[in-house]
Amino acid sequence: MSPRALIVGTRGSRLALRQAEIALAALHLAVPEATFELRTIRTAGDRSAASLSEIGGRGVFVIELERALLEREIDIAVHSLKDLPVEETAGLAIAAVLAREDPRDALVSRHDVPLAGLSASAAVGTGSPRRAAQLAALRGDLRIADIRGNVDTRIRKVESREYDAVVLAAAGLARLGWTKRAAEIFDFEQMLPAPGQGALAVQVRTDDADTFGTVLAVDHAETRVAVTAERAFERRLGGGCHAAIAAVATVSGERLRLSGLIGDPEGGRMFRGELDGAVDDPGSLGLRLAQRLMDEGASELLEATA
């Protein structure tokens, strides 16, 4: 008798399905004896056209997937890690973080015009306070406009002249084979990414040891270390969709370097710092950098945007 297929849940957007395919390919390669079945689940974030801050933040993309896991409708859920709230849901765990794609942000514009070439008052679409704050710091003369929809929809809104440009995750473009659509990919000095950006998380039930062990085979140690520091930074700040919080960590041998930022989405104050630490204690590094920025005055900004 062949083993039961493990049901893998995902959102139904083109990007989410592609990410699920990437996770499945990794699982098939690492655990060839296991069988998997893909199941699409539509989330509140996919159904609503309202801004993320109005409908409950990034967690709206994961609530139904987590419910399906807890109710045993699926065995595994694949998420963009940056969509997962930093406080884990009781009964669930991130069993694996896949090797990270490019964590940077990208600008998509008509005629491939870079940020510096956009005209004053050009409309740049983003639904992210983090991107809005950093765009305002780079080009205070632009009109930062809220935008919703998947990657395909946002690019179409540029092509239809509803927006002059949009800022998207470079990882999403890469996974869809659309990297050439980017007029510019921002370096970390220009724009720090969201904690966990570019990484895929594979979530399972904590009481399902067999599936946990299967999924653990695709966990990428270096990516896990980096995102642990980034998410600890965000967790200490208590950030959600209203706060402009950014962080990225890079591993070099036995050392870990974390860059973090807290900014005003309206383009006001911004606090940014960097800290080095050991790779064997990434959580502590994230907490220490967050505390340092709070001591420098970022706590007042967080209270104002709560």
Q: How does pLDDT run across 36-45, given as a tens digit for each residue?
A: 999 999 766 5
Task: Tell me if 145 is assigned to some domain.
Answer: yes
Q: Which two tokens stand for residue 149?
A: 């929809």
The verdict on 109 and 180 lying in the same domain is yes
Q: Looking at residues 195-200, what average pLDDT do you find?
A: 98
Question: Would you call 49 exposed, middle or buried from its count of C-beta atoms within 10 A (0-12, 13-18, 19+)?
Answer: exposed
The verdict on 213 and 234 lying in the same domain is no
Q: How does pLDDT run across 16-40, given as a tens digit for each residue?
A: 999 999 999 999 999 999 999 999 9
C-alpha span between 275 and 288 (Å, rounded): 8
Which CATH number covers residue 153? 3.40.190.10
Task: Tell me if 193 is assigned to some domain.
Answer: no
The verdict on 112 and 54 lying in the same domain is no
Range of the domain at 61: 6-98+199-219
CA distances from 89 to 72, 81, 288 (A): 15, 14, 24
Inform me whether the pLDDT recorded for 242 exceeds 90.
no
Q: Looking at residues 127-149, what average pLDDT do you find?
A: 94
CB 123, CB 139: distance < 8 Å: no
Task: Tell me if 94 is assigned to some domain.
Answer: yes
Q: How does pLDDT run across 49-98, given as a tens digit for each residue?
A: 544 444 445 566 799 999 999 999 999 999 999 999 999 999 999 999 99
CB 174, CB 102: distance < 8 Å: yes
Catalytic residues: 83
C-alpha span between 108 and 114 (Å, rounded): 8
Task: Tell me if 263 is assigned to some domain.
Answer: yes
Q: Which two tokens stand for residue 202?
A: 């594979």
Model confidence, pTM: 0.92
